[in-house]
Amino acid sequence: MILLPNVVRTRTSDIIIFIIPMIVVLFALLIIPLIYSFWISLCELDLGIQSYLIPTFIGLGNYIRILTDKMIWNSFAITVEFVSISLALELGLGLVLALALLRIPRGVTFYRTIFLLPLTIAPALAAALFKSMLNSDFGVINYLIESLGFQGVNWLSDPSIVVFVFILLDLWQNSPFALLVFYAGLRSIPRSIYDASELDGASSFQILRYITFPLLKRIFLIVMIVRGLTLFQIFDYVHVLTGGGPGYSSQFISWTLYIYWVRLFNFGVASALSWLVLLVTIPFILYFFKFIIEE
Cα distances (Å, whole numbers) of residue 192 to 185, 187, 188, 219: 15, 12, 11, 20
Euclidean distance between CA atoms 53 and 51, whole angstroms:
5
Q: Could you tell me the smallest distance in angstroms from the CB atom of residue 179 to another protein?
A: 8
For residue 220, state whether it binds another protein (rule: CB under 8 A): no
Q: Could you tell me the smallest distance in angstroms from the CB atom of residue 59 to another protein?
A: 19
Euclidean distance between CA atoms 288 and 291, whole angstroms:
6
For residue 196, state whether it binds another protein (rule: CB under 8 A): no
**Taking CA 111 as the corner, what is the angle to CA 110 and CA 114, rounded to the nearest 5 degrees?**
90
Residues in Cβ contact with 173 at an 8 Å cutoff, skipping those fewer than 6 apart: 118, 119, 121, 123, 126
Residue 192: name the closest of 209, 211, 179, 206 by CA: 211
For residue 224, state whether it binds another protein (rule: CB under 8 A): no
* 72-111 positions binding another protein, by CB under 8 A: 96-97, 99-105, 107, 111
For residue 291, state whether it binds another protein (rule: CB under 8 A): yes
* 160-189 positions binding another protein, by CB under 8 A: 172, 176-177, 180-181, 184-185, 187
Q: Could you tell me the smallest distance in angstroms from the CB atom of residue 124 to another protein?
A: 4
Q: Could you tell me the smallest distance in angstroms from the CB atom of residue 104 to another protein?
A: 5
* 22-61 positions binding another protein, by CB under 8 A: 22-23, 25-26, 29-31, 33-34, 36-37, 40, 52-53
Phi and psi for 46 in degrees, rounded to 5? -145, -175
* 267-286 positions binding another protein, by CB under 8 A: 267, 270-271, 273-275, 277-278, 281, 285
Euclidean distance between CA atoms 126 and 132, whole angstroms:
10
**Candidates 61-69, 76-84, 113-121, 207-215; binding stretch for another protein (CB under 8 A):** 113-121
